[in-house]
Amino acid sequence: MYKLKPVFSVPLELKNTCTVYKLKNLQEKAINVQIKSKNVNDDMELSNEGIEVLLNKEHEVLNKLMQLEYRLSKLNFQFSDEKDNLPIPKIPKVSSMPYHIVQKKHHKKTESKINNDIKNLIKTDIVVFADPENPPYSLLALPILWPNVSWDISYHIHSSVKNDLKILKTIEIFTNVSSKYNNNTTIKVFVIWQYNKPSPKIVKSSTDILFGEVQLLRLFNHNLTTETQRTVDQTNSDKILDLINDINCSTNDRTSELYNLITDSNTILDLKNIALWSLLYKKHNIPPNIEKWIEQMKNIIIS
């Protein structure tokens, strides 16, 4: 009916000085937990939405780092303890990979000069995924082209490759190479026989991947051959290598276009002849004069 005035005022919170410890408000704790979980969900949603942007940023940064590394490699700075600063190479792990180990020694045949860019090949191991149905025979010529380099080339068979006797017969010509010289510049190449197209696939890092046998030869030529040797007839050589690569990647049979690039007396081991030989060695119905040239190159490379 009417409101009475309080006789004395009572505080909203009573403090008892005799308690051992004070209990927290359970309702307030539950409210805080709900608020925190909601914030966590919001953060997760934001991170999921922005993950693609972050990956793109990371890819841009990695590309810039690779460009800077390439530019720095062109400068002839002498760094102290360069070997200690190099990252430890990681051997690629492939599950269920039985492989045959046959050691093959390549003796020094000719004097060849090597440029300082070889450090680009020894910082990390090179992995080559090669299709056994389209083997890159130019791998056999690497120790012959650069005999003064210490090579460590090993071949492995992936579990996805079936036990096809014809396939195994084809790739048995590829044997492990271990050539050591008085230097610390060993180039390690891991070749994995695996059905994949395009072949071969050359992996130097997660951001440095090449495709094709011509690109494989260019990679080693760029980092191993001296500047003077690279500039001689470079334009003509690049045109021929581009033509070989185009014909190899073409869906039409353009093998006859390669015949004009071959002369019976020209059996020099250069990039053009090795790329030509590797491509034609896998072809059938070759003219007799071309077959003779292929056999001559085979006797030089496969001894």
Q: What is the pLDDT along the chain (303 residues), one digit of tens a residue?
A: 677 777 777 676 666 666 666 666 665 555 555 555 555 454 445 455 667 777 777 767 776 777 677 666 655 444 444 444 444 444 344 333 333 333 333 333 444 555 667 887 887 889 999 999 999 999 999 998 888 888 999 999 888 887 778 888 889 899 998 887 766 678 899 999 998 888 899 998 888 889 999 999 999 888 887 656 555 567 778 888 888 888 888 888 888 888 888 876 788 888 889 999 999 998 888 899 899 999 999 999 986
- For residue 17, what pLDDT is reported? 66
- For residue 104, what pLDDT is reported? 39
- For residue 183, what pLDDT is reported? 64
Q: How does 78-96 read in b/e, with b if 16+ C-beta sit within 10 Å?
A: eeeeeeeeeeeeeeeebee
Q: Give phi and psi for 71, each to the nearest 5.
A: -65, -40
Nearest CA to 88 out of 48, 62, 125, 46 is that of: 125
Nearest CA to 279 out of 263, 264, 290, 266 is that of: 290
Reading phi first (left if > 0) and then psi (alpha if -120 to 50, else beta), residue 14 is in beta
In sequence order, the 6+-apart residues with CB closer than 8 A to the CB of 170 are 132, 135
What Å distances lie between residue 119 and 63, 115, 186, 188, CA to CA? 19, 9, 10, 12
Distance CA 271, CA 220 (A): 10
- For residue 167, what pLDDT is reported? 86
What Å distances lie between residue 129 and 134, 135, 170, 211, CA to CA? 11, 10, 16, 10
Distance CA 104, CA 79 (A): 35
Chain centroid, CA 101 distance in Å: 23
Nearest CA to 123 out of 184, 64, 178 is that of: 184
Structure-token pair, residue 189: 């190449």
Query: In terms of DSSP H, where are the helices of the chain?
Result: 26-74, 82-85, 119-122, 142-145, 165-171, 213-224, 227-231, 234-249, 271-280, 288-301
